[in-house]
Amino acid sequence: MELLVRVGAVMAAFLVLPLVIGQAEHKVMAHMQGRVGPMYAGAFHGWAQLVADGVKFVQKEDITPRAADRTVFRLAPIVALFPYLIVILTLPLGPDLVAQSLDIGLFLVLAVLGIGVVAVLMSAWASANKYSLLGGVRGAAQLLGYELPLVLAAASVAMAAGTLSLPGIVEAWRPWWLIWQAPAALVFFIAGLAEIRRPPFDMPIADSELVFGYMTEYTGLRFAFFLLAEYVGIVVIAGLTTVLFLGGWHGPFAEQLGWLWTLLKVAALSFVIIWFRVTYPRLREDQLQRLCWLILVPVSLAQLVITVAVKSLL
């Protein structure tokens, strides 16, 4: 019974949060660009726009290109979505408020996020389209590269907390870690953005040159799955940054309002992610790799040294 409640709660979060983020993206982007965004669907400020979009996607024809590898083509969107579902399962909302507490939750999260690359390569190759393949190869190079600073930054905070359990890390977190772990937090957030291929790191999708990268041939519900994966990805990266670096449920009245603090921090970070999309132009492929290997990796390695030094002084 309790298990059912937990799974149900995770499924609800999995379905509702992306919609909220998606709607926020419509509205925030619109207002930043001097527009109003969706206004009519659902009457009040277009709140039902994404529901309408969902209905539209369901009605569209599900097309598989003739030259495509059908099985792999059809499986790819599910493989893209699946890792994020597992990650949401392990994110703690408040003290004792987590769907599945694990001894090495951080490790599981990082391992499972790595599966996303397989989905990109699957969809890219199976589409039998040169634009898709180019986008997929770019995407794989990007994901493989940025996984390194992501893991190193997460390792830093795990070393500081002395545990790999996500609730354990939040438990050990102190406000002054905001300064101590600041470089790692920045690296993690930026590398996380690249991991979910959000602008300015959307070179694999690059609509002006690759049509829509590895998603070019997808239609209807399968395309909606990829979109959903992108929005869940925002939740996951914002959630992980919150849990690892911003102290999760810590805040006034953490005992009662812990979950609210977590959600607020996640919402604020999601806003920043949307803000990035409106602010920065897309990084060129060479700039993207340069940022990863010449800036993020050295910074995260230096952060590891700082973490060890401070930790041994304490």
Partner 1 sequence: MTVADVLLLALGTVAVGSGALVVTSAHLVRSGLYLVVSLGAIAGLYLVLGAELVAWVQVLVYVGAVVVLLLFAVMLTRAPIGPSADLDRPALPAVLIGGGLGAGLAVLFADAFRWVRYPEADPGTAERVGEQIFGAWVLPFEVISILLLSALVGAIVLSRPDVGARPTPEA
- 50/151 with CB nearer partner 1: 151
Closest distance of CB 102 from partner 1, Å: 8
- 140/269 with CB nearer partner 1: 140
The token pair that represents 31 in the structure block: 């207002």
- Site mask for partner 1 (CB under 8 A), range 89-118, x = bound: -------------xxx--xx-xxxxxx-xx
- 54/114 with CB nearer partner 1: 114
- Site mask for partner 1 (CB under 8 A), range 151-190, x = bound: x------------x--------------------------
- 36/294 with CB nearer partner 1: 294
DSSP codes joined into one string, 55-103: HHHHHS-----TTS-HHHHHHHHHHHHHHHHHHHHH---BTTB-SS--T
Q: Does the footprint of partner 1 cover residue 121 (CB under 8 A)?
A: yes
Residues in contact with partner 1, counted by CB under 8 A, come to a total of: 32
- 16/67 with CB nearer partner 1: 67
Closest distance of CB 63 from partner 1, Å: 16
Closest distance of CB 116 from partner 1, Å: 8
Residue 163's SS3 state is coil
Burial of 186 by CB count in 10 Å (0-12 exposed, 13-18 middle, 19+ buried)? middle
Q: How far is CA 245 from CA 111, 134, 272, in A?
A: 19, 35, 15
The token pair that represents 170 in the structure block: 């939040």
Q: Which residues pair with 279 in a beta bridge?
A: none
Q: Which residues pair with 97 in a beta bridge?
A: 94
